[in-house]
Amino acid sequence: MNTYLHCIPCLFEQIEKSATLFHLSDEQAKEIMDEVGSSLKDIPLTSSPPERALIVQQMISSYLGTDDPYKAIKKESNDKALELYPLIENMVLQSSHPLSTAIELSCAGNIIDYGVSPEGIDVEKEIRAIIAKSEKKIAKESSTLFAIKEFISTIEKAKTLLFLADNAGEVVFDKLLLETIKRLYPHLSITVAMRGKPILNDALISDAYDIGLNTIGTIISSGVPTPGTVMKFTTPQFLELFNSSDMVISKGQGNFEALSDEEREIFFLLLTKCEVIAKHVNSHVGDILLINKVPTSQLL
């Protein structure tokens, strides 16, 4: 996905939010904005939003003197999400459609994103509201924005699954989804790809082990330093799995921005967080999406 013009002001909003989160002064934030503004002229609109966000976060990390300024926040997010685990697990176990509910919860867990909301949030309250809204708005059996039929058809035939994780905290919700998938399809071999380097509050391999995600499948690094899986930064191991896996599930808006133009079938799970993405996929901000993206060759 290319960068829209509206994505550029969003980068400066991200600097403002980061400045608030890390208690930077207006002068310090302005200095970072000046540096980012100067660098943007060399980046074409054909680059994806995560590539531009990388520049912002590298400058903020350099300014703060740490390569992982969100480290404490990520731990807090994981801990809070683990506290909610019995609640969301019970929601799936009591559901008449456990896989669909687990998918919705995985997407709803995407609200744990300090890149969008640095202020405190009532996660349980927000999740219940999102699920209630989703149940009312999405005609799951027919909607192209919640392609559950295609998802089930693909996973029933698949032997290998590559899951691309997104943020810390929400990976606990992803764990529930993957546990549900493993219970329903025990033959499936699952690999989970985490970010290669610290960026925003995106989940790393250490986060996967901290929440026990390694008990469900193999954990690897995608190699990317961006808040989205930009393919030119990926490792050979990841690239081989991405091309050879029977099914790829991509989690989060950043991964959608980075991978929506790739020529292979991908199931995108995300919570729409901005007007740009909502307009791009013809949805609304706050919608839970399960998009089945198929290669152009299959549409001809």
What confidence tens digit (pLDDT) does each residue in 171-196 have? 999 999 999 999 999 999 999 999 99
Residue with the two structure tokens 């980075």: 258
Instruction: Answer yes or no: are the C-beta atoms of 105 and 91 closer than 8 Å.
Output: yes
Question: Is 185:191 a contact under the CB 8 Å cutoff?
Answer: no
pLDDT at position 164, please?
98
39 and 133 share one domain: no
Q: Does residue 2 belong to any structural domain of this protein?
A: no
**Domain check: are 124 and 203 in the same one?**
yes
Q: Which domain range does residue 157 map to?
A: 71-299
**Based on C-alpha coordinates, what's the Rg of the chain?**
18
| Start-to-end CA span in the chain (Å) | 21
Q: How many domains is the chain partitioned into structurally?
A: 2
Identify whether residues 37 and 130 lie together within a single domain: no
**Alpha-carbon distance 245 to 111, whole Å?**
28
One-letter amino acid identity for 122?
Answer: D
- Residue type for position 46: T
pLDDT for residue 140: 45
Same domain, 132 and 33: no
Q: Is residue 235 located within the same domain as residue 103?
A: yes
| 103 shares a domain with 60 | no
Q: Which stretches does DSSP call E strand in the chain?
A: 160-164, 189-194, 218-221, 247-251, 266-271, 288-293
The pTM (predicted TM-score) of the whole model is: 0.91
Q: Are residues 289 and 165 part of one domain?
A: yes
**pLDDT bucket at 110, cuts 50 / 70 / 90:** confident
Instruction: Please check whether residues 75 and 35 belong to one and the same domain.
Output: no
Instruction: Report yes or no: 24 and 198 within 8 Å, Cβ to Cβ.
Output: no
Q: How confident is the model at residue 254 (pLDDT cuts 50, 70, 90)?
A: very high
- Locate 98 and state its tokens: 């456990």
On whether both 59 and 76 belong to a single domain, the answer is: no
Q: What is the pLDDT of residues 91-101, one digit of tens each?
A: 899 888 899 99
If asked whether residues 56 and 80 sit together in one domain, one would say no
- Do 80 and 60 belong to one domain? no
In a domain, 206, yes or no: yes
Give pLDDT tens digits for 59-90: 889 889 999 999 998 998 898 889 889 988 99
CATH code, domain with 139: 3.40.50.10880
d(CA 7, CA 4): 5
CA 50, CA 224: separation in Å to the nearest integer? 10
